[in-house]
Chains A and B, each alone.
Chain A
Amino acid sequence: MLSYSLDPKLLNQLIDLFAAFILVSSFLVLAIKRLYVHVRLYATQSFFLALVAFLVAAFGGEPHIFIAAALTFIFKVMLIPFLFRRIINRLNVQQEAQLTLNVPASLIVAAGLVLGADYLTRTILETNQTFELSRNVLTVSLSVVLMGLFTMVTRKKALTQVIGFLTIENGLFLAGIAITAGMPMIVELGVLFDVLVAVFIMGVLLYRINETFDTINVEKLTKLKG
């Protein structure tokens, strides 16, 4: 075990730093159009998430989060991005992601979302004074959730929507470990496997969509409406 002598202030600052990286990677998903980069960004974001988890586990006195950190690293940094690359190669999709809202506008909205998240978490802090970790992490996690959802709304490629979905999950995970100092192990494991299964299923669905419509552009799905 590592020493427990890290200054709690320093620990908080470190966690804040990594949370900031997570936030920035979410912004980048909105700003960059290439699918490969999206996958890489997701891997990066997950890597920082794993780091946060590691810090909380090592210095926050919650040793069981080590497992969560390790699993996050294995699944989200390695396995899922690998699966994604395979899907992209197999489907041979066009690299450019199509948007319903252009990049600058998306970024402005995303900034608004972060402000909104900040506003919301502030009120939470007011009502609940016994908060241990810094409010910033909560802000970041809420922003990441909202931005993930926003990604899903504005992107037309089914693949980017899966990325958005996974980003939401990352935001929830961050909130989970940062605020409650780790949900019960079983919940975290459950969520992780859920995500993995979701990726598999979405992968299969993507093949089907691609087969049926010759594209993974979800706009074509309107044809399914009766």
Chain B
Amino acid sequence: MIDAQFFFGLSLFLYLAGAVLGALWCLRPRRSYYVSHLLALAAGISGITSSVPVLLGQSPYHITIPWLTALSNVAPSIKLFENFSLQVDALSAFFVFVISLLVVPVSIYAFGYLREYEHKQSVALLGVLYNLFILSMVLVVTANNALFFLIVWEVMSVVSYFLVTFDHEKTENTQAGFLYIVMTHVGTAFIVLFFLIFYQQAGSFDFEAFRKVAANLPDLAKTLLFVFALIGFGTKAGLVPLHIWLPYAHPAAPSHISALMSGVMIKTAVYGMLRIFFDFLKPDLVWWWGLVLLGLASLSAILGILYAVTEKDLKKLLAYSSVENMGIILIGVSLAMIFSSYQTSTFAILAAVALIAGLYHLLNHAVFKSVLFLGAGAVVSQTHTRNIEALGGLIKKMPWTAACFLIGSIAISALPPFNGFISEWLTFQALLLGFNVPDLIVKIIVPLSAALLALGAALATACFVKAFGVSFLALPRSEHVQTAQEVSSSMKWAMGSLAALCLVLGILPTAVVRLLDGVTGALVGASAAASMGVNPLTLAVPSAKIVTVAPLGLALILLIVIPVALGVAYMAGELRTRRAQTWGCGLPKLSPRMEYTATGFSKPIQLIFKSIYQPRKEIEIETDVSSYVHKRIRYELQIESPFEKYFYQPVSAFVLKISAIVRRIQTGSINTYLAYIFIALVILLLLVR
């Protein structure tokens, strides 16, 4: 029997040691970087070891922080710290597992990725922040006290802010960091409000007390709790319309950090929602809560991918796609909320299915989004550009990276036999289960949501065909690509192992579902694994007509069909390499400039969804001699997010306007300031006397 508790403590200690040693060795940046990442790697492995037993059914364990307890004995006045403890139950263990699972390959990747930052003195800082960042995430998902949760949540936000602005030489990064820190603090403010309301009701910041008081909360408090939790965690989750920071902040960070941010950091918001809605507030769930979340999640799913399709920045595209995937995850969660609100056993099973779908997609997204971010990082480290239009032809120079990126792209496009397919299929089935709900409005919203999800999946495919095709295929589009080489082996192995994981998670869904069932079972109070795993190969969804899918069988069929098809093609002579000119419509010579561009590829989609994109076009034609002879044509296309234009910009303009008015009293003249004091004194004397 593995002592899970010991390994959990060990992993926390190793993260801390990584941060401390990294800081101590800051004068030897390289060594510090290696040591801190090595310790993070060890911590990740130990984290996996600590979480798996709990996922497999071992009872939850509790860890108190000894020195804090000692502190509260010494000074009783700091009673608030007395209950700072960590609890690893199934839900926490699942998130610890996901975090640790990513930390391992990402840490390995980081060894090779150092080259990108070697010229900077602050690589030691990167290692320190990296460890602190992961440590804070692990603590967020295991905290057992609201105050402690808020502290580590804030640490996570601040540390990730430093990581976002790590390349602070670029103004766009500091701007992204500013947007991020503002948005994340707006979110945190709402989370603080949320916990304060709960504190007022429960009289304690302990999660245990929250659970006790949940059943008899007044209606107003319940509604407020839901709204605050939705805004607070929605901001971190990148839920539309609170997502605006995400596409700026995630690409700004170093790529392996982006992988962690998109892979797990935004998922801590899902953790928060699950903890709140299913652990604390489960008896209070109201059907419209889930419906509101379902609406926002569907909107996120579709809008996220729509913006991703037209994006030219490789990492920004991935960040927008994270918005989409968070939407898909939250569709599962919100359905589970709707089902759970009916509080019957039949609905509990449906809730379990929906929640399994959400968590499965969470796990999958963590894996394939990391592959993609790490792949993008590999590309950026070789070409020093994130602009897709400047790439091309990388498949020949970086075959390994290209293969991993391709696998990630297939997975994220929800195509079998990779993992994205299974979880999106499950989410889709869960949506169809929504027809069992008696409320009419749910029956109306659910098919709409299903349609949006299907559309989103199709657009995701288009998006990643573009991302992969334009960056890796065809001829190099700029000199950036000329010097590109395959990345170092640590990076290759990191990406490769994650890509392999995409396949494993895709063809062994029944095993994963059984693992997730423990988590969802504790949350919704019903087990779905028995009905979902018909046999080890086939995954089923329990509904009026049982629907099944057998991904492993599918994979085996593919394994047979593809060689057969290739063999047939080979025999028919179609596979012989022919070298010939591409047909160039009669033009004598084709150059890379004539290649299909990313903008061109996404143009049809952009035209179809013109009303959503609201594109701003600018065409400037410089003519020579006559107006028929064009010397130069400049075409500029800009897509403005309606949320930024119609909500955030007016709000920030309003705040600035008020500030400008208030600023007028701050003249900088001492005499004026003294006059304020004087006038205030005289008025007060006259008023109070």
Contacts and interface: CB of A to CB of B under 8 A. Distances in A.
Contacts of A224: 668
A116 B670 contact: no
A119 B279 CA distance: 65
A100 B671 CA distance: 9
Interface in A22-60: none
A222 B668 contact: yes
A154 B686 CA distance: 21
Interface stretch (A8-16, A88-96, A145-153, A187-195): A145-153
B678 A153 contact: yes
Interface in A138-174: 146, 149-150, 152-156, 161
Given A116-B686, A149-B677, A153-B678, A221 B670 contact: yes
Contacts, number: 46
A120 interface: yes
Given A153-B671, A156-B671, A124 B677 contact: no
B668 A146 contact: no
A85 to B, nearest CB: 23
Interface in A186-226: 218-219, 221-225
Interface string A102-118: 00000000000100100
B682 A116 contact: yes
B668 A221 contact: yes
B682 A219 contact: no
Interface string B670-685: 1100110110011001
A124 B671 CA distance: 30
A150 B671 CA distance: 10
B294 to A, nearest CB: 47
B678 A149 contact: yes
B668 A154 contact: no
Contacts of A225: 666-668
How many B residues are at the interface, by size bracket?
Answer: 10 to 19
B344 interface: no
A123 interface: yes
Question: Chain A contact residues: over half helix, strand or loop, or mixed?
Answer: helix
A221 B689 CA distance: 35
B669 interface: yes
Contacts of A150: 678
A123 B682 CA distance: 15
Nearest to A122: B689
Chain A interface size range: 20 to 34
Contact of A149 (B667, B668, B670, B674): B674
A146 B677 CA distance: 11
B670 A161 contact: yes
Nearest to B679: A153
Q: Most chain-A CB neighbours within 10 Å: which of B666, B671, B677, B678?
A: B671
Contact of A219 (B669, B675, B677, B689): B669
B669 A221 contact: yes
Contacts of A120: 685-686, 689
A212 to B, nearest CB: 14
Contacts of B670: 161, 218, 221
A43 to B, nearest CB: 24
Interface in A70-103: 100
Contacts of B681: 146, 149
A222 B677 CA distance: 18
A150 B675 CA distance: 8
A150 B310 CA distance: 64
Contacts of B678: 146, 149-150, 152-153
Contacts of B685: 116, 120
A154 B689 contact: no
Contacts of A221: 668-670
Nearest to A152: B674
Contacts of A222: 667-669
Interface centre among A123, A146, A152, A153 (most CB of B within 10 A): A153
A132 B674 CA distance: 34
A123 B686 CA distance: 11
Interface in B632-689: 666-671, 674-675, 677-678, 681-682, 685-686, 689
B168 to A, nearest CB: 21
Contacts of A100: 671
A153 B678 CA distance: 8
A121 B394 CA distance: 87
A113 B685 CA distance: 12
Nearest to A142: B685
The 3 closest A-B pairs by CB, nearest first: A225-B668, A222-B668, A218-B670
9 contacts: A116-B686, A120-B685, A149-B677, A150-B678, A152-B671, A152-B678, A161-B670, A222-B667, A223-B668
Given A152-B671, A152-B674, A225-B668, 14 more contacts: A100-B671, A116-B685, A116-B686, A120-B689, A153-B671, A153-B678, A154-B671, A155-B671, A156-B671, A218-B671, A221-B669, A222-B667, A222-B669, A224-B668
